[in-house]
Structure 1
Amino acid sequence: MSQSSYYSPAGGHPPQTQLLTDRAMFTEAYSVIPKGTMRDITTSYLPFWDKTRLWVISRPLSGFAETFSQYIMEVAPGGGSQKPETDPEAEGVLFVVSGSMTLTIFGKIFQMEEGGYAYIPPGTDWQVLNEGGEPVTFHWIRKAYEKVEGLETPSAFVTSDKDVAPTPMPGTDGKWATTRFVDPADLRHDMHVTIVTFEPGAVIPFPETHVMEHGLYVLEGKAVYRLNQDWVEVEAGDYMWLRAFCPQACYAGGPGKFRYLLYKDVNRHMKLR
């Protein structure tokens, strides 16, 4: 299998000689799911998906993060789905981390490879097929779309991490940048799924404390992340799941770039009931 620049889990099962000590934790404000916990025994399956298994790394939980779910999908050669989404109100983002697949949206065919990104609105007719000789692994982030009278539903689109230039954060000399696949001013969208990149030694220089929920999957590199009152080491393949208002910051550790796939909910009134 060719080497991907993005981390994807391999599954397997640890030996009886392995120590139990790990970095996995679940607190009232955040959860860390290290790459070492993504084994065969923690996979799940879905209706209407053939030759496919998945790791569910977040789901709505009352009193925690309530707006989204995130899966890591692994589809074997010849596998896929003609009916992937069973919720007509769900929107989704797909991001390929290894392998390649064919995505069909309303009959239009797209070839997605590593770094491929697709936004799929609710009610979309879409299918996935792995026509290659190796497994394909991709993230699938799902959210119940919040319609607003007077705003159209966003259109489907397919692009790639390789085709979108990162936007530097002000005052950082480009050491902290965000790859945005959707215009932040486009209020049709109620979630953003972006890629954040830090050069070695770059930092988030204050504890971000905000209403948006987060899922952060580390695609490459390593860092020390501030989560609530704790400093946690994370590396490629780890996942951080943050409820609203969890303070957060980080130092990128090097020697290479630190990059993660980031979900956040945006652009809507807070539900009052």
Structure 2
Amino acid sequence: MTVPGHLKEKFSVRQSLLGLTRTVIAERHALFDPAGHVRGGIPGFPSHATVILISPRIGAGFVQFLVHLEPGESGGSSPPGVETFFYLLSGEAVAELGERSAELSEGSFFFSPPGIEWKIRARSSGAHAVVFQKSYAFLPGLVPPPLLIGRNEDIIGHPFLGDSHALLKTFLPEDASFDMAVNLFHFQPGASLPFVESHVMEHGLLMLEGRGIYRLDERWYPVVAGDAIWMAPYCPQWFAALGPTPACYIYYKDVGRHPLSG
């Protein structure tokens, strides 16, 4: 759902004046209303350029943040032992990935394994992105995954559990070296997850298009493009797309490691 800018601004101001927010922070889940975003907090970027959405301070095992770079601005941050998935939401940028470089446009992404420093520089249109980071879980005898660069439009969406109205794109290989997955889910109006899920993986999610309803634990939340969600391990979860247009979200989950490995 696209809200005209002047209406969105008026609504946000009205919320602020009344002390209202759609943001909810619960024990095992959280919903973040973009009207409450506060910028800053990621070293290596201009102070105004990032919004930390999810982090270990809320109980998560990863970090999810937004990047908003003005034309010509640059930034990058990857602490030791940390891997990064970067997805360009809009604009254009050039990415410096160790000894490689890549031109990025809307829907481009890269995965940077631990040990490879990365930096992006916004082109004339600026650059807006979502980033997922976690400490890589090394396993004896297993080589960490390689650097990957791709585009959303080149990834084929497959019907989720046979439902052609719910298409799932997987951006990272299902390989033992990877301990994170980042996927994109596209729902036609009225489509939904086939059942209420509850599993050991945790999620970080960003709504990209449309609107819908999300069940988290025993609560139900209307969600729209721009909303972010954290789901802790075993949090019951279910989504259905509402309204006349498709809904789409990108999400992270931890994979490929035994629960006792930490």
Contact 1:224 1:232 in 2 (8 A): yes
Confirm or deny that 1:73 pairs with 2:67: yes
Distance in 1 (alpha carbons) for counterparts of 2:180 and 2:104: 22
* 14-23 or 231-240: bigger deviation: 14-23
SS at match of 1:15: helix
Q: Per residue, is there more helix in 1 or in 2?
A: 2
SS at match of 1:36: helix
**Aligned with residue 233 of structure 2, among 236, 244, 264:** 244
Q: Shift in Å at residue 52 of structure 1?
A: 5.2
Q: How many residues align?
A: 255
Q: Which amino acid aligns with 1:160?
A: R
Following TM superposition, the consecutive aligned residue runs of length 4 or more in structure 1 with deviations greater than 4 angstroms are 10-14
The 3 A distance-change label for structure 1 pair 136 and 227 is: same
Q: Which amino acid aligns with 1:262?
A: Y
Contact 1:190 1:268 in 2 (8 A): yes
Query: 2:55 corresponds to which residue?
Result: 59
Query: 2:171 corresponds to which residue?
Result: 181
Alignment of 1:3-22 (within 5 A): 14-15=12-13, 18-22=17-21
Deviations 1:10-50 (A, max 9, x none): 99995367433332111112100012222xxx111433334
Contact 2:63 2:132 in 1 (8 A): yes
SS at match of 2:190: coil
Query: 1:224 corresponds to which residue?
Result: 213
Query: 1:151 corresponds to which residue?
Result: 142
Deviations 1:129-160 (A, max 9, x none): 11x22321111111000011122110001101
The 3 A distance-change label for structure 1 pair 202 and 247 is: same
Distance in 2 (alpha carbons) for counterparts of 1:92 and 1:272: 21
Contact 2:53 2:66 in 1 (8 A): yes
Q: Which amino acid aligns with 1:180?
A: T
Identity %: 28
Q: TM-score, normalized by length of structure 1? A: 0.87
Deviations 1:211-257 (A, max 9, x none): 11101100001011111001110000001111110000111103111
Query: 1:31 corresponds to which residue?
Result: 30
Contact 2:42 2:77 in 1 (8 A): no
Confirm or deny that 1:96 pairs with 2:88: yes
Q: Shift in Å at residue 71 of structure 1?
A: 0.7
Distance in 1 (alpha carbons) for counterparts of 2:169 and 2:224: 20
Q: Which amino acid aligns with 2:116?
A: T
Contact 2:41 2:47 in 1 (8 A): no
Q: TM-score, normalized by length of structure 2? A: 0.90
Contact 1:164 1:181 in 2 (8 A): yes
Q: Which amino acid aligns with 2:80?
A: P
The 3 A distance-change label for structure 1 pair 14 and 205 is: closer
Query: 1:163 corresponds to which residue?
Result: 154
In structure 2, list runs of 5 or more residues that go unmatched: 3-7
Contact 1:175 1:199 in 2 (8 A): yes
